[in-house]
Chain A
């Protein structure tokens, strides 16, 4: 089971994913450039996405994330979404994760700010382990 994440050139989400890697999670980064080919998933995964955008209604979900979710097979395997953001953006805190959860009808699993605190890494790591276990049990 995999964590797929997008991180722009500021690399905050990438730093968070590195900490999840160190905790034993398998993490894969989406390509930075929109013109590059996106990934095709073969097994269930969780997505981490930051929020961007030129305003509340435009560009909150990074284009590369949209391209990735436009692939029906990826959408079918998506188990949930985690948001990265900053509460100082007020109402649009982690809006991209809300949009993805809504559009793909999957749970919003967690939200954290910027690089994430050690507690965030622990909560996400433990939450993912519980989730993977549930998926395995359901399969068996």
Chain B
């Protein structure tokens, strides 16, 4: 590492009783309440199901997970840390340290999956593939180049696109297995990661929008153009990466819909309107319900026949400020 690490020049003791932006406090609470470790998930229950996969399917799964490991490593050791010096509040700095740590938990959890399911040789082969696959390396390189760049807001754009878009070519596969009742414990672990990434993407995107409020109109326009350019660059690479991985099992087209769906959400996290139209974001319902079991919209009055509805099942809350 040749470059000099940029550190904050002055630090005051952080006072959590003086909150400048309530979002810092809310997000910290959610992130710490979400805390988990891979040891909590009974991954070994997936061994019988792993053994039903073909050698090609196993190899695909291992490759997908090493790809995800690389992104979490990038985000933990460079991405989240690179955001600290540009923070607007001391609490924002603290939130990034939490995000950085959790990315390291994510990265390590793939190794827990590997050691539970496969052999040292298969693991080494998959990691070798991850260093040799050009499209995977390119996606890490593109993002890293912006993390090293000198624009704090561009760093946040790159970071939000990583959190909310770049992971999803990989997240697709465990959702796919789960929808076929395979590797369901692994899928449970991945859902914990997805939930964390949702808060990360929301938060970094929110701080980007806060930053936009402080620059002039011309800079805002430039950053918007930059965001769409970077998304396109990453998208094209993502499509090739998707073909590299999924052509052999015939799932590439399905994965691409999931990419579009998530690219829209990444844009929205940055405050921009979604770009991909409905006919290319119609994610396979089985994948969507693996992601969120309650997402089935047929129960919603406005989208079903409009003649009947169900009132949802009771949810216990611990909130005591309800009067009824």
Contact = CB atoms under 8 A, between A and B. Distances in A.
B191 A90 contact: yes
A54 B321 contact: no
Nearest to A98: B312
Interface string A98-138: 11011101111111011101110001101100100000000
Contact of A93 (B265, B278, B292): B292
B309 interface: yes
A127 B315 contact: no
A87 B288 CA distance: 8
B292 A89 contact: yes
B287 to A, nearest CB: 10
A90 B311 contact: no
B30 A105 contact: no
Given A70-B323, A101-B311, A123-B302, A57 B317 contact: yes
A85 to B, nearest CB: 9
B30 A55 contact: yes
Interface residues on A, range: 35 or more
Interface string A59-102: 11101001101101001000010000011111101110011011
A88 B300 contact: no
A93 B317 contact: no
B322 A109 contact: no
Contact of A61 (B191, B209, B292, B317): B317
Contacts of B322: 66, 69-70, 103
B250 interface: no
B23 A58 contact: no
B140 interface: no
B38 interface: no
Interface of B: 21-23, 26, 29-30, 33-34, 191, 194-195, 197-198, 202, 206, 209, 264-265, 268-269, 273-274, 278, 281, 288, 291-295, 297, 299-303, 306, 309, 311-319, 321-324
8 contacts: A57-B316, A58-B317, A88-B265, A91-B294, A102-B311, A103-B324, A115-B268, A123-B303
